[in-house]
Amino acid sequence: MSSTSASPLHLAVALDGTGWHPASWREPAARPKELFTAAYWAALVAEAEHGLLDFVTFEDGLGLQSTRYDAPDGRTDQVRGRLDAVLTASRVAPLTRHIGLVPTVIATHTEPFHLSKAIATLDYVSSGRAGLRVQISGRPYEADHFGRRTLSPLTFAELRGPAGQAQVTELFDEAADYVEVIRRLWDSWEDDAEIRDVATGRFIDRDKLHYIDFEGGHFSVKGPSITPRPPQGQPLVTALAHQTVPYRLVARQADLGYVTPHDADDARRIVAEVRAEQEQAGRSAEPLHLFGDLVVFLDDDQAAAEDRRARLDELAGEPYVSDARTFAGTPAQLADLLQEFAEAGLTGFRLRPAVAAHDLPAVSRRLVPELQRRGAFRTAYEADTLRGLLGLARPANRYSAA
Q: What is the CATH number of the domain that holds 17?
A: 3.20.20.30
The answer to whether the annotation marks 104 as part of a ligand binding site is yes
Domain contains 187: no
- 235 φ, ψ (degrees, to nearest 5): -55, 160
> What's the CA angle centered on 351, arms 76 and 390, to 5 degrees?
135
> Which of the four pLDDT bands, split at 50, 70 and 90, describes residue 3?
very low
How many angstroms separate the CA atoms of 11 and 18, rounded? 20
- The 10s digit of each residue's pLDDT in 113-146 is 999 999 999 999 999 999 999 999 988 888 888 8
**DSSP labels, 41-98:** HHHHHHHHHHTT-SEEEE---SS---SSSSS----SSS------HHHHHHHHGGG-SS
CB under 8 Å to 378, separation ≥6 — which residues? Answer: 8, 52, 372
Total domains in the fold of the chain: 1
Tell me which DSSP letter residue 35 carries.
T
- As to burial, measured by CB atoms within 10 angstroms (0-12 exposed, 13-18 middle, 19+ buried), residue 397 is buried
How many angstroms separate the CA atoms of 128 and 153, rounded? 40
Q: Which has the higher per-residue pLDDT, 32 or 154?
A: 32
Residue-averaged pLDDT of the chain? 94
Q: Which domain holds residue 18?
A: 10-146+227-308+325-370
Domain contains 161: no
Mean pLDDT value across residues 63-89: 92
Q: What are the b/e assignments for 294-311, b being 16+ CB within 10 Å?
A: bbbbbbeeeeebeebbee
The answer to whether the annotation marks 60 as part of a ligand binding site is yes
Q: Is a pLDDT exceeding 90 seen at residue 7? A: no
Domain contains 343: yes
- 390 φ, ψ (degrees, to nearest 5): -95, 5
Mean pLDDT value across residues 74-93: 96
Domain contains 106: yes
> Which of the four pLDDT bands, split at 50, 70 and 90, describes residue 402?
low
User: What separation in angstroms does the CA of 133 have from each of 54, 104, 254?
Assistant: 15, 4, 9
Domain contains 212: no
Q: Is a pLDDT exceeding 80 seen at residue 319? A: yes
Q: Are 319 and 239 in contact (CB under 8 A)?
A: no
Which region among 73-87, 95-109, 142-156, 367-381 has the lowest average model confidence (pLDDT)?
142-156
Domain contains 157: no
Domain contains 320: no
Q: Is 281 helix (H, G, I), strand (E, B) or coil?
A: coil
CB under 8 Å to 15, separation ≥6 — which residues? Answer: 41, 44, 45, 56, 57, 58, 59, 353, 356
Q: Which helix (H) or strand (E) holds 238?
A: strand 236-240
